[in-house]
Amino acid sequence: MLQGVKVYSEDPAYVIAVAGRYLIQTVRDRMTATAVILIRRALADLSEQYPTFGYLSILEPQAELLLPPDVREGVQAIVKRYSPRFTGAAIVFEKSGFHATAVRSVVTAINVASRATHSNQIFSDLREAVSWLSQLTPGEPTATRLLLIARHFRSADASTPSPTTPP
């Protein structure tokens, strides 16, 4: 168990968790309507505790990039509702070429449709994403701990021991 982390779902297809002032979403296979509901619940919980918070989304290389219409609409509604509360959103996708362009297109379409006002950036490196987001989001966890937590929820890093104590 990760100390100080509330896990909303560790489904084989995705992970939704909150650590301090951050929502962490890892898409291992695909997003679903259930994932959207859990993200909404996690953001509602965060908004009760903090005026602003960061959003870290990790899209694993094998993840399905196209969102079904109901999922896309749910994500747009979430972004529209919580954009003023996001300090920033860091999206991590480590593939390049056409796939990276597709991710940028999906993120742009969601942000335009929802009239997002928060800073967001797509990264090809998790460490860079966490560093950027932690500069925008004050408080715990530290960038080092957020990186350890995010790595814990990735498929490739699932065998990594849980970071139970802050570094």
Residue in this structure with the two tokens 């928060």, named with its chain if needed: 118
Q: What is the mean pLDDT of each run of 10 residues along the chain (167 residues)?
A: 87 94 94 95 96 93 86 90 92 72 62 67 91 91 94 68 43
CATH topology of domain 5-157: Transcription Regulator spoIIAA (3.30.750)
Q: In degrees rounded to 5, what are phi and psi of residue 50?
A: -135, 145
First to last CA, the chain: 16
- Provide the whole-model pTM: 0.84
Q: Which two tokens stand for residue 114?
A: 């929802």
* Helix (H), strand (E), coil (C) string for 8-38: EEECCCEEEEEECCEEEEEECCCCCHHHHHH
At 73, is the secondary structure helix, strand, or coil?
A: helix
pLDDT of residue 102: 65
